[in-house]
């Protein structure tokens, strides 16, 4: 009963009209990534998401995964065939290095595909998504021997990957892990311990599963400085690089979860399993963050993907559902009632979803393009600037997109009314599936602490300047434009208050870390709203220019819709930034002064 259509028109608008994705093909190694090439790839990607992944979304939710008596896991009906189709089409290789069989396409294209996949079937999409994280860690930190052995199989989708971090007694505080790695005589290690919440920990989609596991060596220092990273395959590769002897790693159970039932979230037991060190001893967090940063951006795309498909369904329902008459008079006299889209509150909910998804799409794709620039631009200074901006935006993209993805899913349920609460209609699944994105890969509260505790202070605000300067430049360039006034002035006011918040948090946080902690969530939200306003200004400018141009990629109605949605964001969503500003100014006292006994 749910519907999904890849929003290719909106995607092309962001890529071509707003971000000028054509510049990507000027980067070394990405010469083949022309706009026409990317459009062709996205058209095929849309088909596999709409026709192969999406029809299995409710199937996966209803059936879930099954742990068998031998410890193996069977995925829902159709998942294995869908995954094989996906891998055979080269989609697991999209943004991977051609040296290992990858297509070498840009990260911005990979970012777009993540959105489509997450809208179509978040649970199924997690399997190849986690594999790409394993690819990133091995690609950056593995020895040539490990890369030659594992990467080609991960890239072509024959093997998959996982991240094994969390243990029953520790989640965010990884310094508390108890999993041990004891050296073997052959240079490998015996890994022993239990990991929980391991997405795609065991399944039947691939012939081998490559676990990247955090563990401590016998001589490890206390805390996070004593963590090392190991690669532990389900089957130890033989001399020919094929799956050989079964390793001592097994699925103890499958977690019973609120959502993402189609993904096998496992308790994994390592009983002296053979593993190999990735990177340097006691430097595992550095390597793991290579996976985690990619994963955090990927989780942000889950928020966007869930928000998009929830919005599409709410919109379709609102146009079809007949209830009452419009407040200002009958709209469709030939029917027993008017469609609920005539009602102001339904429009508020729909426009919130529309403004979020379209603005977040621009922010996420902009981040993806900056990753490409950071990796491929010939100028080292330009690469460094782009890398700084990605580091700054990562916690914002992860937290804001997942918070709003869940909110948009809840608004979709509300639009449906009682039917939204019923399983058969499909929208309640989006709220359940999307909710985990606010939690894993670092809760959104942790993202806020990362923003104020780490990113804000780097290089005396160097990362902040990578965002602040482009915004200031844009405001200065457009503030005299009458056509842009209704968009630029709200951005300028919100940006000025963000600068005030930044100075206050930095100043108070140096004296008392609780001040930074208390402000962090509201500060991140304020920052995200300003970033979204910046994106909406750029989209409004692009729409205005296209309306005045003879060369249009879309209809006039499409561009007018962008301007109308931009107005909604500026007048109905951006004002939240002012409230968040006041919350930041409130300081730590309202939170920290109460005695624990008084709670």
Q: Which residues are catalytic?
A: 441
Handedness of CA 69, 75, 76, 79 (dihedral sign): negative
Neighbours of 526 (CB within 10 A): 25
Q: Where are the alpha helices (DSSP H) in 512-570?
A: 513-547, 556-568
Distance from CA of residue 119 to its chain's centroid?
A: 12
Q: What is the phi/psi pair of residue 419, to 5°?
A: -65, -30
Nearest to 355 by CA among 49, 564, 577: 564
Tokens of 571: 């007048």
Give yes or no for a contact between 393 and 371, defined as CB atoms under 8 angstroms apart: no
Residues 116, 49 contacting (CB under 8 angstroms): yes
Cβ contacts of 385 within 8 Å, gap of 6 or more: 466
Q: φ and ψ at 321, to 5 degrees?
A: -75, 125
| Distance between CA atoms of residues 103 and 155, nearest Å | 9
> Is there a contact between 25 and 34 (Cβ–Cβ < 8 Å)?
yes
What sign has the CA pseudo-torsion 159, 165, 167, 171?
A: negative
Nearest alpha-carbon partner for 206 in 179, 233, 228: 233
CA torsion angle 501 507 509 512 (round to 10):
-130
Handedness of CA 557, 406, 5, 115 (dihedral sign): positive
DSSP helix/strand/coil, 7? coil
Strand pairing class (265-278; 249-254): antiparallel
CA atoms within 13 A on the CB side of 6: 27
């Amino acid at each position: 009963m749910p519907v999904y259509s890849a929003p290719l028109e909106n995607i092309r608008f962001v890529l071509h009209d707003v971000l000028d994705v054509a510049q990507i093909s000027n980067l070394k190694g990405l010469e083949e990534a022309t706009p026409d090439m990317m459009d062709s790839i996205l058209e095929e990607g849309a088909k596999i998401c709409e026709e192969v992944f999406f029809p299995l979304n409710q199937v996966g939710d209803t059936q879930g995964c099954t742990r068998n008596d031998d410890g193996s896991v069977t995925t829902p009906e159709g998942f294995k065939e869908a995954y094989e189709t996906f891998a055979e089409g080269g989609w697991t290789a999209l943004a991977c290095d051609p040296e290992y069989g990858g297509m070498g396409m840009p990260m911005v294209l990979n970012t777009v595909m993540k959105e489509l996949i997450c809208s179509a079937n978040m649970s199924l999409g997690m399997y190849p998504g986690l594999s790409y994280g394993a690819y990133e860690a091995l690609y950056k930190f593995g020895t040539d021997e490990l890369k030659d052995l594992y990467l080609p199989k991960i890239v072509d989708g024959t093997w998959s990957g996982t991240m094994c971090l969390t243990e029953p007694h520790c989640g965010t505080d990884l310094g508390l892990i108890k999993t041990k790695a004891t050296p073997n005589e052959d240079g490998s290690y015996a890994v022993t311990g239990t990991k929980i919440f391991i997405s795609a920990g065991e399944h039947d989609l691939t012939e081998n599963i490559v676990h990247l596991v955090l563990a401590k060596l016998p001589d490890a220092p206390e805390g996070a400085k004593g963590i090392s990273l190991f690669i532990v395959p389900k089957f130890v590769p033989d001399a020919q690089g094929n799956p050989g002897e079964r390793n001592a790693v097994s699925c103890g159970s499958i977690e019973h979860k609120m959502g993402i039932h189609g993904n096998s979230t496992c308790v994994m037991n390592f009983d002296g399993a053979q593993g190999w060190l990735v990177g340097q001893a006691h430097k595992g967090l550095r390597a793991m963050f290579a996976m985690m940063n990619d994963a955090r951006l990927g989780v942000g795309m889950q928020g966007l993907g869930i928000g998009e498909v929830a919005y599409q369904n709410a919109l379709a329902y609102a146009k079809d559902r007949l209830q009452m008459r419009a407040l200002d008079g009958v709209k469709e006299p030939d029917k027993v009632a008017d469609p609920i889209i005539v009602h102001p509150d339904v429009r508020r909910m729909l426009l919130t979803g529309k403004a979020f998804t379209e603005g977040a799409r621009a922010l996420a794709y902009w981040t993806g393009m900056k990753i490409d620039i950071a990796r491929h631009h010939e100028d080292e200074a330009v690469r460094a600037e782009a890398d700084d901006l990605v580091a700054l935006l990562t916690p914002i993209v992860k937290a804001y997109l997942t918070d709003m993805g869940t909110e948009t899913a809840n608004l979709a349920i509300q639009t449906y009314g009682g039917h939204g609460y019923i399983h058969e209609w499909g929208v309640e699944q989006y709220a359940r599936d999307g909710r985990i994105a606010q939690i894993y890969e670092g809760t959104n509260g942790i993202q806020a602490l990362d923003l104020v505790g780490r990113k804000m202070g780097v290089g005396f605000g160097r990362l902040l300047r990578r965002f602040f300067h482009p915004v200031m430049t844009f405001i200065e360039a457009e503030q005299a434009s009458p056509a842009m006034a209704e968009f630029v002035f709200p951005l300028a006011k919100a940006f000025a208050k963000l600068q005030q918040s930044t100075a206050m948090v930095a100043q108070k946080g140096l004296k008392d870390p609780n001040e930074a902690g208390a402000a962090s969530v509201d500060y991140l939200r304020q920052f995200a709203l300003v970033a979204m306003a910046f994106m909406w200004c750029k989209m409004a400018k692009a729409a205005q220019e296209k309306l005045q141009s003879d060369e249009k990629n879309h209809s006039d109605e499409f561009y007018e819709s962008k301007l109308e949605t931009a107005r909604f964001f500026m007048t109905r969503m951006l004002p939240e930034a002012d409230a968040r500003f006041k919350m930041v100014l409130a300081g730590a006292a309202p939170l920290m002064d109460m005695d624990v006994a008084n709670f």
